[in-house]
Structure 1
Amino acid sequence: MDSEESLTAQLGEGALAQHRPEPEAREERPAGAFVHQISVSGFRGIGAEATLKITPFPGITVVSGRNGSGKSSFAEALEFALTGQSYRWRNKGAKLWQDNWRNLHSPDPCSVSVEFAVEDSTTTSIGAEWAAGAELGDAKHWSQVMREKQQEGVSALGWTNAIEIHRPILSYDEIGGLLDQEPSKLYDALAKLLALDEIQDAEARLDALFKQKSQPGDMAKAALKQLKSQVQESDDPRSAELVKLLRKRPPNLDAVAELISGSTSGAESVVVRLDAIANTVGPDVQHAAALAASLRDALSTSRGLADESMRTAELRADLLRKALEFHSADAEPAACPVCGEGTLTADWAEHTRAFLETEQGQLAMYSEARAQVNQLEQQARALLTSVPMVTAIDGAELTSLPAYQVAQAAAAQIPHTVEGLPSYLESTIPAVQASLDTLRTEATELSAALRDSWAPIATATLAWLGLERDAQQSTELVDRISKARNWVRNHSGELRNERLRPISEGARAIWSQLRQESNVEISDIALEGSRNRRRAVLQGTVDGQETSALSVMSQGELHALALALFLPRATAAPSPFRFVVLDDPIQAMDPAKIDGFLNVLTGIAKNRQVIVFSHDDRLPTAIRQRSIPAQLLEVRREQGSQVTVKFADVPARRFVDDARALVSDRTLSDDVRRQVLPGFFRFAIEAAARQAFYTQRSLHGDKQIETEELWHGATTTADYISLVLETMAGTTPSVTSWCKLRPHRGTSVGIATRGFHHGAHVSHADVNDLKSTVDDILATR
C-alpha cells in the first residue's frame, strides 16, 4: 500500500513478496514543533507590528481579549502562514475576505511570521509577505531554518501533508462546520487522519494493474472467438488442422505457429512450389537469336578459308620449315633431301623464309575462324542444356505444364554437328520461352488464389498467437494481483476499523469528560461504505436508547463532540506538530462543560502545547480557581489598530500573588502562615524554573522526552534551579554561588527549602524577595 513503485517492485520479475515489519514495542515520536512567537503587521485587525510570545513547551496558554482586540488576528496569521488560507473566511465568501484582509489603519508593511522551536533541531520560521498594493493571493510564502538559507514556500519543511491530515488549528467556525456537513465529509476528514486513502489507493492501483495485465487475456479470448468463426467458414484444408489445434486447452502454440508457417502443412508446400515455378527464369530469346547469327557468320567465314589450296599451302609450309631446319644444321650447302638434285644455298634459305611469312598470314586467319566457331558452338550447346525442367505438383493442376514440357524436351534434342545449331536455336528457344511465360502466369495466379483464401486466417491466427503468448506469460501475475485485490477488498473494513479504533476510543474518552450533564453517550464511531456511498456513523444512546448521536445533539453538544473528534486527530503521535491551537472553542459551551473541557486540556498539555484564543473569561477564571499551571496572556487593541500583548498571569507569579495575599490575611494564625507560606515559595520558584528550563531546551531544539526525563529526575528545589543554570551555562554551576550573587535569592530559596520542611516566618519583604527571585529565574530564558 506504499506506492506505485512499491507495487511494481512487489510484482517485478523475480521479486519476492515483502511484508510490513512488526511494530516495535516503543515507537519513537517524530521531531515536533512548538510555537514560540507570532509576529503580525498590517494584517487583519493588527496595524503596526505586534508580537505574541508563547512559552514553547507543553502546557496551556490562554490568549484572551474582547471581540475586536486582535487576538483572532494572531490565530488567523498562524493559520495563513501554515496553510495559505483561513477556514473562517473561506466559508464566508471569498470577496469579504479579500476585501478586508489588510489592516485599515496601517496596511503597509504587511506580513505575518511564526517562529517555532523544533525538537532535535533549531529555531524554524515561516511567514508570508505582501508588497504594497498586492492582492491576497500574491503573498510570498517563505520558510527558514536558523543559520540556513531562506526557502520559498513552506513545503521544504515537509509539513504539507501533516497540516492537512492532523490540522493543528481549529476555529469556532471549523468546529461547527465539522459536523454540519454531509457524513461523507466527516468520513474524508477521518480517512486522511487514519491514512485510509492508502487502502483506497492500494485498491485503485490493484484494480488498474489487474485491468492492464488482464488486457492480453481478454484480447486473446476475443480474438480466438473471432478466429474460430472465421476458420469454420473456410474450405482450405489447413483450416481443419487449425480447428483441431484450437480445441485443445491450453492450445499448443508452437504447433499452431508451425501450421501457419507451413513447416507442417502440405498445402503450404504447394504454394511454395508454385512460387518457385512463377519465379523460374528461362533462356533469353534475344541472346539465343544473337548467338545463332554469330555462329552462322563464323561458320561461313571458316568455310571460305578452308579450301584444298589452303590445306596444300599448310603442308608445303610445314615441309619448307623442316628443310630450313635441315639447312641450318649443315654448315655447307647441301643437296635437296627431297629430290636430290637442287642445292640448299643461302639464297635459297632467304627466299624460302620470305615465302613462309606470306603463307603464315593466311594460315592465322583460318585458325582464328575455327576457334570462334568452337567457342560459339559451346555457348549454343550450354544455352540449350540450361532450359529448366518443371515437374507436376500434387494438388495443383497446371494446364500449361504439358506444353512447356514438350518444348523443354525438344530443346534437349541438340544436333550433333555444329552446322545445325543456328537454326535449332532459332526454332526451339522462342517456343520454350513462350510456353514458360504461359506456365509462370498460370502458377502465379494459382498461388495467389491459394494465398487469398488462407491469408486472412493466417493473419488472424498470427495476431491471436501474439496475444495468447502474452496472456499465458502474465497468467501467474494476474492471479497474484487478483488475490491481492480480493484480499484488500475483503479486509478493507477490518483495516479501516482497526485504524479508527484508537481515534474512536480517544474521542469517546474526551466526550465522557466534555458531556458533563448531557444524557447523550457515544457508543461507537465507524466508517462505512466506500466511494460515493462512504459515510461516518456516530452511534450513541440517549437515556439508554440506541440512536444516531448527531440527530439528537444540541448545538453546544455538537461543538463538544467535534472537539472530541478533532483533538485525537490533532494530537496523534505521527504529527510533527507539538501544538494545538483552538480559536474560541468554548463559545457554545454551557458552564457545566467548561470544567470538563479544562480537564481535557490539562491531559493534552502533559505532552502538547495547548494554545486557546478566547474572548470568554470563563476559561481563565476556571484555571485560576483550580490553580492549574498555565500561561495567561491578554491582547488589547488601542486606537489606530495598535495591538499590545501582556501577561495576564504567569503560574510562578500567581503563586507569588497567593503568598502576598496570605501574608496580608490577618484571619490566619501565625502557625498556619508558618506552615503554608513556604509551600507557595517552593511552588513559585519551581514553577519559574520549569518555565525557564522547558523554554530554554525547546529553543535549543532538545527533544521533549529528554527534557521531561531530566525534569522528573530532579527531586529538590535546588535541583530544579540547577537545571536552569546548567542549561544556560552549559556546565553545572553552584546554586549556592548563584544565591549569593543577590541576597533576595538566598532568602527565598531558604524559605522554599528549609522552611518547607520546618516552617518559617514570612514577611511582606520576604514576598518581595520571592518576586525578585522569580523574575531572575524567568529572565534566564
Structure 2
Amino acid sequence: MTTPPDPLVDVVLTLADEDGSTPDEVKYLVLAALDGDAALADAADGRYDCPEPAPAGKGSSTEPVGAFLQSITVSGFRGVGPERTLTLHPAPGLTVVAGRNGSGKSTFAEALEVGLTRKSYRWAERAADWQNAWGNLHVRGPRHIRIRIGEQDVGTTTVGIDWAPGVERFDDLTSWVQRPGAKREDGLGSLGWGTAIGLYRPILSYEEVSGLLTAEPKKLYDALCAILGLDQLVTAQQRLDTLKKTTSAPVDDARTGATAVKKALAESTDERAIEALRLLRKHSRDLDALRALATGSRATSAGALGSLRNLADLELPDRATVDRAAGDLRAAVGDLALFLPRATRPGSPFRFVVLDDPIQAMDPSKIDGLVSVLAEHARTRQVVVFSHDDRLPEAVRRLVPDARIVEVTRAAGSVIEIGDTQDPARRDVDDARAFVRDPAVPDELVRRVVPRLCRSAVETAARDAWYARAFAGGADRQVVESTWSDARNQPQRIALALHGDRERSTDGWLRAVAYWSTALGVCGSANHDTLRSDPKYAVECVGRLVDDLRATIR
C-alpha cells in the first residue's frame, strides 16, 4: 500500500531497502511501529502490508520549496519603532548582525520566527501581562512584519504579519502570503512549510536554548526529541518495547512453568514422568511425544500435568525477531541523529539558518571553533547570526574574510539604524585606498597591488548582484553558481549583474558613465601589466562602480 507522505518513513524505507542483512520480518516490525499501534499488532500477527515510499513529486497538495532570505521588515514590534528593513544577501554566505543589548537587532530575528510560524518562543511561556507588552510604545497605528524570501522556481515571495490598531494580544494577528502574479493567500499554509519548520528548525533563539538547558530532565528530553525530529522514532521504539514485554511474558511464564514441571517430574517414580523429564531436558523438545505422554494419562501431579499441557499447546512468537527489531530501531535513532544539525540536511527546504545570540557565556576558546563551523555551513547555506557579543564579529573578521557584518544601533524614539561595517567588496576598495595614501609604500608596489584589490572588489560586487538577482527570480543554487563560473571574463560577469545575461552588452553603460571605463581598465589590463593612470583617481572610479553594482541589489 502507499501511505500518506512522511519524510521519516521514506528515510526508514530507503534504509531498509539498502540493508540486505536484516530479515524482512524485522523491517516490517520497525515500519509498523512507525505507522501506529494497530499496524504493529498486524505485523506481529503476520498481516502487515509494507508501505511504499511516496512517488517523487507526489504527496501533499503543497510541496515545500527551497528559499533564501532577502529581507526582514518590522514596524511597531518589540524594539523597533518606525519601519526598518534589514536587507540580507540571498545566497550562501555568513552574515553577522551585531548590536548591543537593547539595540533592536534580536527583534529582527524574532520577527522572522513570528513571520514563519505565527509564534514566538520568547513570549510563549510569559504571563499575560508580558504577552500584552509586545508592541512598541512609539508606534500608535498598525504594526506589521514583512519577510521577503526568494523561492526556487517561484521568485520573490512576501510573507506578512499584521496587527490591527488597538490590538493588545500578541496572538491576535493575521498572516498572509503573496507570490509573484498571484492573489494574496491568507495564512501560511501555501508555503508548504508546516511540517518542515518544526522538523528542520532553521531558526534557533538564545531563549529557546537556555530554556531547554534549565528545564527538568524529562522536559529537556522531550523538547530535544521534538527539535531533533526524533519524537516519532521514540514513540515507535516505545511501541516495540511494549510489544517485546507482551510477547516475552508468555515465554517467561512458560519457562517458570517448565522449571516447576521438571521439579515435579524429578520427584516422581512414574515411568511416564521419567520419560517426560528426559524429553524436557533436550535442547530441541519433541512436543508431539510430550503431548502423547500427557494426553489421557493419570498425572502424578495435577498442577505439573496442567503446566505441561499448557507448554505443549503454547504457540510462541519468535522472541529473537522482536529483540532484534527493538535493537535496530534504537540504532536507527542514533544513526538519524548523526545527520544533525537538521537545519542543514539536504532535505530541508530552507536555504538559510538563523541563530540568535549563540555565544552567550561561551568559553572564549570555543568561539573560533563555532565560527569555523558556521563558515563551513555557509558554503552551501545562508547563515545569519545575531549577536551582542563583540567577540563574535571580531572572530569572524579574522577567520572569514568574505563574511558580512551589519551593525544595528538604536536612537531616541526606537528609531533603528542599520549599517554595513564589513562588506567584502567595499573592504577591498578601502584596502586599495589605504595602499594609495600610505607614503611608505613604493609607487611601483602601489601600481601592482591596487589593480588586484580593485578587480577583487568589482568581481565580488558583480557576483553578489548576480546571486541576488538570480535567487530573487527563483533560480536553483547549482544553476546560479555554474552560470557565474561559466562567465569567463569581467564584462560577462558585469553583464550578469546588470542584465542576468552574460551575452548582453555593457557598452551602453560604458558610454553613459565615464568612470566605468576607467574602473574596468584598472580591473582588466592593469592586472596583467601595471597601473598607468593616477592611482587615487583609479580607486575612486572603482569605488563608484562597486557602489553602482551594489545599488542593483534590491
Instruction: Map 1:657-672 onto structure 2 (within 5 A).
Output: 657-672=430-445
Q: Is the 8 A contact 2:99 2:407 kept in 1?
A: yes
**Amino acid corresponding to residue 135 of structure 2 in structure 1:** R
* Bigger RCO (CA 8 Å, 6+ sep): 1
CA spacing shift, 1:679–1:20, aligned 2, 3 Å: same
**Amino acid corresponding to residue 657 of structure 1 in structure 2:** D
- 1:42 alignment partner in structure 2: 76
Residues in 1 aligned to 2:233 and 2:364: alpha-carbon distance in whole angstroms: 42
Question: Offset at 1:18?
Answer: 5.3
Q: Is the 8 A contact 1:129 1:139 kept in 2?
A: yes
- 2:377 alignment partner in structure 1: 604
CA spacing shift, 1:640–1:156, aligned 2, 3 Å: same
For structure 2, the 5+ residue unaligned runs are 1-30, 57-62, 247-287, 289-313
Question: Offset at 1:615?
Answer: 2.4
Task: State whether structure 2 residue 531 is matched by structure 1 residue 760.
Answer: yes
Question: Offset at 1:138?
Answer: 1.2
CA spacing shift, 1:145–1:493, aligned 2, 3 Å: same
- 2:133 alignment partner in structure 1: 100
Deviation string 1:744-767 (CA, Å, 9 cap, x unpaired) is 122212221222222224521111
Match of 1:141 among 175, 193, 205: 175
Deviation string 1:23-53 (CA, Å, 9 cap, x unpaired) is 9xxxxx9742211111111111122222111
**Amino acid corresponding to residue 765 of structure 1 in structure 2:** Y
Task: State whether structure 2 residue 529 is matched by structure 1 residue 495.
Answer: no
Q: Is the 8 A contact 1:747 1:769 kept in 2?
A: yes
**Amino acid corresponding to residue 68 of structure 1 in structure 2:** G
Instruction: Map 1:62-211 onto structure 2 (within 5 A).
Output: 62-91=96-125, 93-134=126-167, 135-192=169-226, 195-202=229-236
Q: Is the 8 A contact 2:496 2:502 kept in 1?
A: no
Equivalent residue of 2:177, what SS? strand
> Normalization by structure 2: what TM-score?
0.71
Deviation string 1:164-202 (CA, Å, 9 cap, x unpaired) is 222222222223334333444454455446543343454
**Amino acid corresponding to residue 660 of structure 1 in structure 2:** R
Equivalent residue of 1:640, what SS? helix
CA spacing shift, 1:185–1:166, aligned 2, 3 Å: farther
Instruction: Map 1:480-519 onto structure 2 (within 5 A).
Output: 488-503=325-340
Task: State whether structure 2 residue 544 is matched by structure 1 residue 776.
Answer: no
**Amino acid corresponding to residue 93 of structure 2 in structure 1:** G
Instruction: Map 1:504-653 onto structure 2 (within 5 A).
Output: 568-626=341-399, 628-653=401-426
Q: Going by fraction, where is helix more abundant, 1 or 2?
A: 1
Task: State whether structure 2 residue 481 is matched by structure 1 residue 708.
Answer: yes
CA spacing shift, 1:155–1:622, aligned 2, 3 Å: same
Q: Is the 8 A contact 2:68 2:149 kept in 1?
A: yes
CA spacing shift, 1:13–1:623, aligned 2, 3 Å: closer
Equivalent residue of 1:100, what SS? coil
Deviation string 1:248-288 (CA, Å, 9 cap, x unpaired) is 9xxxxxxxxxxxxxxxxxxxxxxxxxxxxxxxxxxxxxxxx
Q: Is the 8 A contact 2:461 2:550 kept in 1?
A: yes
Equivalent residue of 1:695, what SS? helix
Equivalent residue of 2:155, what SS? coil
**Amino acid corresponding to residue 138 of structure 2 in structure 1:** H
Q: Is the 8 A contact 1:165 1:189 kept in 2?
A: no
For structure 1, the 5+ residue unaligned runs are 24-28, 213-247, 249-474, 504-567
Residues in 2 aligned to 1:716 and 1:731: alpha-carbon distance in whole angstroms: 10
Equivalent residue of 1:574, what SS? coil
Deviation string 1:68-90 (CA, Å, 9 cap, x unpaired) is 22211111111122223322333
With 183-192 and 770-779 compared, the bigger mean Cα shift is at 183-192
**Amino acid corresponding to residue 526 of structure 2 in structure 1:** G
Residues in 1 aligned to 2:85 and 2:413: alpha-carbon distance in whole angstroms: 17
Q: Is the 8 A contact 2:201 2:227 kept in 1?
A: no
Residues in 1 aligned to 2:218 and 2:236: alpha-carbon distance in whole angstroms: 20
Q: Is the 8 A contact 2:403 2:424 kept in 1?
A: yes
Identity of aligned residues (%): 41
Task: State whether structure 2 residue 442 is matched by structure 1 residue 656.
Answer: no
Instruction: Map 1:392-411 onto structure 2 (within 5 A).
Output: none
Residues in 2 aligned to 1:758 and 1:179: alpha-carbon distance in whole angstroms: 60
- 1:744 alignment partner in structure 2: 515
Equivalent residue of 2:204, what SS? strand
| RMSD of Structure 2 on Structure 1 (CA) | 3.6
Question: Offset at 1:596?
Answer: 2.6
Equivalent residue of 1:603, what SS? helix
CA spacing shift, 1:742–1:159, aligned 2, 3 Å: same
Q: Is the 8 A contact 2:237 2:329 kept in 1?
A: no
Equivalent residue of 1:46, what SS? coil
**Amino acid corresponding to residue 492 of structure 1 in structure 2:** L
Question: Offset at 1:587?
Answer: 3.0
Q: Is the 8 A contact 2:37 2:239 kept in 1?
A: no
Question: Offset at 1:626?
Answer: 4.9
Match of 1:684 among 439, 457, 466: 457
Residues in 2 aligned to 1:20 and 1:5: alpha-carbon distance in whole angstroms: 20
Aligned residues: 446
Residues in 1 aligned to 2:236 and 2:363: alpha-carbon distance in whole angstroms: 45
CA spacing shift, 1:483–1:69, aligned 2, 3 Å: same
Residues in 1 aligned to 2:100 and 2:458: alpha-carbon distance in whole angstroms: 32
Residues in 1 aligned to 2:39 and 2:513: alpha-carbon distance in whole angstroms: 68
**Amino acid corresponding to residue 343 of structure 2 in structure 1:** A
Equivalent residue of 1:589, what SS? coil
Equivalent residue of 1:769, what SS? helix
Residues in 2 aligned to 1:717 and 1:75: alpha-carbon distance in whole angstroms: 37
Match of 2:470 among 682, 697, 700: 697
Question: Offset at 1:205?
Answer: 7.0
Question: Offset at 1:206?
Answer: 7.5
Residues in 1 aligned to 2:324 and 2:469: alpha-carbon distance in whole angstroms: 51
CA spacing shift, 1:141–1:487, aligned 2, 3 Å: farther
Question: Offset at 1:606?
Answer: 0.8
- 1:733 alignment partner in structure 2: 504
Q: Is the 8 A contact 1:582 1:613 kept in 2?
A: yes
CA spacing shift, 1:193–1:711, aligned 2, 3 Å: farther
| Structure with larger Rg | 1
Equivalent residue of 2:132, what SS? helix
CA spacing shift, 1:757–1:31, aligned 2, 3 Å: farther
